Structure 1
Amino acid sequence: MSAGRVEVIPVTGLGEVRPGDDLALLLRDAGLRDGDIVVITSKIVSKAEGRVRRAPDRTAAIEEETVRVVARRGDTVISQTRHGFVMAAAGVDASNTEPGTVLLLPEDSDASARRVRAGLAALLGVRTGVIVSDTFGRPWRNGLTDVAIGAAGVLPLEDFRGGTDTHGNPLNATVTALADEIAAAAELVKGKLAGVPVALVRGLAHLVTDEDGPGVRPLIRPADDDLFRYGSRDVVFARRTIRAFSDEPVDPEAVRRAVGAGIAAPAPHHTTPWRFVLVESAATRLKLLDAMREAWIADLRGDGFGEESIAKRIRRGDVLRDAPYLVVPCLVMEGSHTYRDDRRNASEREMFVVAMGAGVENLLIQLAVEGLGSAWVSSTMFCRPVVREVLDLPDSWDPMGCVAVGHAAAPPRDRAPRDPADFIVTR
């Protein structure tokens, strides 16, 4: 059912909201009717719920409210809050509050909306929807707009997928964020400087539900489904060593895009010292791993290791067998310089090895950005002739380890904390 005439009405005369105030009681004389949607600025919800903090500046509060920093430029911080919102300064606001204080987002804006809705029903006997709104910036767009951070009794999304447009074209991706649109419409009459923290949106009774509903949770896209899930601060740290993979197949094109990142690494003498062998055939992968295992066992026996020790060491390569896809990065020395003495020749190779490492790291990071897990294993370095034979590679290609690729079977463990200061020497 579509809307006809829609009105957006400012609610004036509320005065200053203080901790402990009952918002439903404050709205008793706002002229509410059945089917109205009440849009409340989160700032007064925070004030009523005592989410006011004494602070000389916002820095400490932002850090406490932040789950992860998504991006940072100068003093501007875009962070994810524990509520799941990605927004500037974790929603900590120093405006419209007494000097020396900051406002934090409500603990649970959906619960706040439910309380106001229940209070209005008890006081006035009206069936309303309630939205708690806040101001967000938007990637790729200038300007701010209000969105819903809490809701009760309002349909948050309208899913048109499976339908057709007026020309009969199928709609495959159209899901409208109704609660956000209503929040933005209400802001037109509230304004930042008008001192009007509440608006009524009338004419959308068909979006008001009998039950409180799911709140804004359906509006928050899960990170795994978000093409932009990694902010600029996240990308490098997105690379994690994954040792257990699911059965989900790997998209070969995603791996090829990761190779594109690999070959963007720096290299000496304007060379391109990287080659990436994509082992996509299951039969070839098994043949390679079996041949490598035999070579390792022979080497370990030759070094005097016992069978139990050999078995333990061999198990370290199981991650390669569990992975549905392998990449073998190879170093080529084309374009390298030859010198008269071994010292400079050794340094020349080291330069190329460093470039190879940069290429592999780029590959691993981009695999993570593509949603793929990976583990770099140095194993091929111990049996290069075997690897070259099985994969039919030129003698001039040096396999520099093997990368297991796949979808993680479980989230990786948290990183061990490391302080950069422990790895820095200043002169």
Structure 2
Amino acid sequence: MEVSPVEGLPEVRPGDDVAELVAERTDLRDGDVLCVASTIVSKAAGRQADLADFTASERAERIAERIGAITGEEKDPRFAQAVIEESEELVTDAPFILAVTRFGHITVNAGIDRSNVPDADLLLLPEDPTEEAEAIRAGIRERTGADVAVVVTDTSGRPFRHGQRGVALGWAGIPAARDWRGERDRDGRELGVTVQAVVDELAAAGNLVTGEGGGGTPVALVRGFDFGDHGESDALYRPPESDIVRDALREWSHERD
């Protein structure tokens, strides 16, 4: 398997066609996987916003005041309001905001970015990353004839570990996971729980070559990946009723209040 950055992409603006920009700059083949940073997907969709667009509610004021008291840094309640409006639920609101996005991803500050946004204060995550992945895939096929898979990615922190890594927010043309349940290990024992989050692993591989900060590139091309003869699953986000970590955080948050 080879992973390489797609070079030469311009600064993406609202209304730009991501599929066209990528197709013009790389030779795509059937079976390729494109890892596309949610940053440019959001920019093309006009998901920039300014803090002035948000009027802080009483809840946002309380959250900003609480976080500021804990961290010793002044927090803008309008940012807290933006997070509230982009979220289905706030799992915790201090010492940081851990939010559930409307498409099921759980991340700090609902994934709202304040870096590499030249024309606004904030960049919001795509409203529906899987729908965006499907649109990019269809656009690539229309322009090149190549049947590729697309993974819309972001970087996210990890419980119990320092640092961030690439994760999938949406995907098209590839299952989210290899389902190994029912297969056997080398000793003949049947696997009962192993489901491999393939789109997350591809997102992390892509992030190794796209990079971070001001010198990063927003698209990686994965060539030669073979899903193999395995079961398939599109269940990437754990349902709330079986998420014991989310339940524990909710309980802790309520007890603290």
C-alpha change, 1:169 and 1:40, in structure 2 (3 Å) is same
Aligned counterpart for 1:30 among listed residues 19, 26, 32:
26
Q: Which has the larger radius of gyration?
A: 1
Letter aligned with residue 62 of structure 1: V
2:86 matched residue in structure 1: 65
Letter aligned with residue 32 of structure 2: D
Letter aligned with residue 222 of structure 1: P
Structure 1: 5+ residue stretches without partners: 1-5, 208-212, 238-361, 363-419, 421-427
Give the conservation status (yes or no) of the 8 Å contact 2:178–2:227.
no
Aligned counterpart for 1:45 among listed residues 35, 41, 44:
41
1:66-81 mapped onto 2 (5 Å cutoff) = 66-74=87-95, 76-81=96-101
1:396 matched residue in structure 2: none
Letter aligned with residue 49 of structure 2: R
1:135 partner SS? strand
**What is the TM-score normalised by the length of structure 2?**
0.82
1:14 matched residue in structure 2: 9
Q: Indicate whether 1:184 and 2:180 are aligned.
A: no
Q: Work out which structure has the larger RCO, using CA pairs closer than 8 Å and 6 or more positions apart in sequence.
A: 2
CA distance, structure 2, for counterparts of residue 234 and residue 104 of structure 1: 28
Give the conservation status (yes or no) of the 8 Å contact 2:92–2:253.
no
2:64 matched residue in structure 1: none
Q: CA RMSD in A?
A: 2.1
Shift of 1:232: 3.0
1:107 partner SS? coil
CA distance, structure 2, for counterparts of residue 38 and residue 232 of structure 1: 34
C-alpha change, 1:200 and 1:33, in structure 2 (3 Å) is same
CA distance, structure 1, for counterparts of residue 240 and residue 227 of structure 2: 31
Structure 2: 5+ residue stretches without partners: 53-75
Letter aligned with residue 182 of structure 1: L
1:134 matched residue in structure 2: 154
Shift of 1:195: 2.6
1:173 matched residue in structure 2: 193
C-alpha change, 1:14 and 1:113, in structure 2 (3 Å) is same
Aligned counterpart for 2:180 among listed residues 139, 149, 160:
160
C-alpha change, 1:119 and 1:206, in structure 2 (3 Å) is same
C-alpha change, 1:48 and 1:236, in structure 2 (3 Å) is closer
Shift of 1:233: 4.1
**What is the TM-score normalised by the length of structure 1?**
0.50
Partner deviation per Cα, 1:226-272 (whole Å, 9 max, x = no partner) = 221225344475xxxxxxxxxxxxxxxxxxxxxxxxxxxxxxxxxxx
Give the conservation status (yes or no) of the 8 Å contact 1:97–1:103.
yes
Aligned counterpart for 2:238 among listed residues 218, 221, 236:
221
- Pairs aligned (count): 226
Partner deviation per Cα, 1:266-301 (whole Å, 9 max, x = no partner) = xxxxxxxxxxxxxxxxxxxxxxxxxxxxxxxxxxxx
Give the conservation status (yes or no) of the 8 Å contact 1:72–1:233.
no
Partner deviation per Cα, 1:298-341 (whole Å, 9 max, x = no partner) = xxxxxxxxxxxxxxxxxxxxxxxxxxxxxxxxxxxxxxxxxxxx
